[in-house]
Structure 1
Amino acid sequence: MIRLGICNELFEGWDLAEVCRTVRGLGYDGLEIAPFTLAPLVTDLSADRRREIRRIIEDSGLATIGLHWLLAKTEGFYLTSPDPAVRRRTGDYLMVLAEAARDLGGSLMVLGSPKQRDLLPGVSYEQAEGYALEVFQRIMPSVGDLGIDLCLEPLAPSETNFLNTCAQAEALIARVDHPHFKLHMDVKAQSGEVEATVPELIRRHAAKAGHFHVQDVNLKGPGMGDVDFAPILKSLVASGYERWVSVEVFDFSPGAEETARRSIDCLRRELDAAYAKHA
């Protein structure tokens, strides 16, 4: 069965224990964490603090899903840099993030980070793909040994010019060829693909996806805009996807609790209908 989670940056400024009580009270099963909400760099999080965060989440009845926004608000990291030292530093930090995800009780990481993968001047798409391949081939044995899935997120051309479609991401994933290196899907991002609708993309790719984010294209939560989530969740259930679906929003203006409540109400309603039709 699909489990529902929500990303913690929505609750900016809240005490973690209060976030967890609110999220669990609304019916969510898991909390997904943006590392910058915990510390400027994940290396600043002591072992004791990691254990404390995990305890707070688990004592509330939630699971830690994992980490996303991996390179947000950091400097010096770049996946497709022609400088091998920068690529090595980036890969090393991704491995440290994987250790933190494990310590916090998580099982996955979502790699979007569009501004740390854009094509740099003079770097072709094929060269960038080779640089990224080098990073992933080096780090995935260690990431996998930690029990963490690294989920690669294709993003719309408005956000990046490298890896814009599920097909492009899956081609790179196939070249890396590691069981813990998976596709990440996202309603907003996949809405930018011009050759297929989101439900069609789900039917093609979701069975092999490692994670899924939901939000409206207006950047608010599910049920708070014009996106019809009924066919999206129907396709997701029919695809056999049985992992996490996390609410990730970018417009916080309706308020954290209101967004979280309306989002799960929409998702529960459409998921229940999708499972009933699929039975």
Structure 2
Amino acid sequence: MTFEISPGASGLDVACHLNVLLPDASPGDLPQALAAVAAAGYKRVVLPPVDPASVDAAGLRRLFADAGVAPITIAGGQSAGADVSSADAGERAAGAAILRSVLDLTVALGGDQMNGVPYGAFGPPGGPTDRAAVERAAHEVGAIADHAHERGVTMTFEVLNRYETSLVNTAAQAMEFIELSGSPHLWIHLDTFHMAIEEPDMVAAIRLALPRLGYLELGQSGRGKLSTGAVDIPAVVRSALDAGYEGRWGVEAFSRSVLSQSAADMLAIWRAPYNDGIHLAADAMRVIERGWAASTVGRRAKRLARAASG
């Protein structure tokens, strides 16, 4: 008897970014989107950045609960005047306040994880980030991470490519950032899209970050389907599992046909690599399952399944 691999067979804890399917978290189309990703085997959905003050947290929480998936929020919003890396104490305090407001929203939604870019402004950097700014950002973010832990929320920070920040671009820099933060509760978010640009060896980067890796996001070179592109996603999944990674996973893809124009412009998404987000989410889960099936833990599970079936 053969062992059939189906979405969810691995039991991996995988989240799908909502922008794969929808431009925002408006309640009109959200129930159908949440139901679709739940049916594909996802356990969580990552919300795009939202203004906590304008969100109906109770209503949104009910929608997630009804679909049987958990929310992950994105914290960031750092800019001139509100930036935890700033030399100005008032600006740092304003930046930290933004992060705390997203933490409050996460708790109100019933979530237990907050991703994002909390350490500085998102966008083309004007130059290298000086050491003092990195240290200031790490201190502020570490304090928020400790507070989040007290409230039952895990905080991660995403490592971006050089075109989106100059503060943290590699797994090695992320590990140093955590050390500077002084927080035992701050975790790293790696993304294969960014790693493909910055890391000479993606698997080595995952291994380096493994002690503090809390979220491993899978994204393709062209921002489209995980089954097509320059990144060998099944190999990444297999290698991470074989290295001992037991954390959560994410799927991210962006298309100009799905995103709002402002979000597409901000992310430099000029094309439409896909039009059907539900199809992409299902395809991504199948790709992840293939990587799991090739891993040591996956092969062991298949042997046990065959033995149990006689």
TM-score, normalization: structure 2? 0.78
Alpha-carbon shift at residue 187 of structure 1 (Å): 0.4
**Does 2:26 align with 1:12?**
no
Give the whole-Å Cα distance in 2 for the aligned partners of 1:139 and 1:276: 36
1:62 aligns with 2:61: no
Residue 182 of structure 1: aligned partner: 187
* Residue number in structure 1 paired with 2:224: 220
Q: What is aligned with 2:291?
A: 270
Q: SS of the residue aligned with 2:76? A: coil
Number of residue pairs aligned between Structure 1 and Structure 2: 269
- How far did 1:266 drift? 1.1
Q: What secondary structure does 1:68 align onto?
A: strand
Greater gyration radius:
2
Equivalent runs, 1:1-279 vs 2, <5 Å: 2-10=12-20, 11-12=22-23, 15-36=29-50, 41-45=51-55, 49-64=56-71, 66-68=72-74, 70-71=76-77, 76-112=81-117, 116=121, 125-194=130-199, 196-251=200-255, 252=258, 253=272, 254-255=274-275, 256-274=277-295, 275-277=297-299
Superposition deviation, residue 120 in structure 1: 7.8
Distance 1:19 1:32 in 2: 12
CA gap 1:59/1:135 in 2 versus in 1, 3 angstroms: same
Q: Which structure 2 residue ranges, 5 or more long, are not aligned? A: 1-10, 259-271, 302-310
Question: What does the per-residue CA deviation read over 1:15-56, in whole Å, with 9 as the maximum and x for residues that have no partner?
Answer: 1111111111222221111133xxxx21222xxx21221221
Sequence identity, in percent?
Answer: 21
1:119–1:128: 8 Å Cα contact kept in structure 2? no
Moved beyond 4 Å, runs of 4+? 117-124
Deviation at 1:119, TM superposition (A): 9.9
**TM superposition shift of 1:234:** 1.1
State the Cα distance separating 1:184 from its structure 2 match.
1.0
1: CA distance, partners of 2:221 / 2:128: 31
Change (3 A) 1:234 1:207: farther
- The C-alpha deviation readout for 1:176-214, integer Å capped at 9, x for no partner, is 2222211111101111224x3212211222342111111
**Match of 1:268, SS?**
helix
Aligned residue number for residue 8 of structure 2: none
Q: State the one-letter code of the partner of 1:7.
A: H
SS in 1 for 2:224: coil
Residue type matched to 1:116 in 2? A
Structure 1 CA distance, aligned partners of 2:244 and 2:184?
18
For normalisation by structure 1, the TM-score amounts to 0.86
Q: Contact (CA 8 Å) 1:92, 1:139: kept in 2 or not?
A: no
Deviations 1:144-201 (CA, angstroms, capped at 9, x unpaired): 211112212221112211111111111121122222211111101111224x321221
C-alpha separation in 1, matches of 2:138 and 2:213: 19
- Native 8 Å contact 1:118 1:162 kept in 2: no
2:139 and 2:180 in contact (8 A); partners too: no
Between the aligned partners of 2:80 and 2:48, the Cα distance in structure 1 is 16
Change (3 A) 1:156 1:104: same
Contact 1:237 1:278 in 2 (8 A): no
1:71-113 alpha-carbon deviations (Å, 9 max, x no partner): 28x8753232222211111101101111211221222222326
CA RMSD of aligned residues (A): 2.6
- Which residue identity does 1:63 align to in structure 2? A
Aligned partner of residue 158 in structure 1, secondary structure: coil
What is the rounded CA distance, in whole Å, between the counterparts of 1:34 and 1:120 in structure 2? Answer: 22
2:32 maps to amino acid: E
Q: Judge conservation of contact 1:77–1:86 (CA < 8 Å) in 2.
A: yes
Note if contact 1:185-1:206 (Cα within 8 Å) is conserved in structure 2. Answer: no
Give the letter aligned to residue 132 of structure 1.
A
Question: Does structure 1 conserve the Cα–Cα contact (< 8 Å) formed by 2:128 and 2:166?
Answer: no
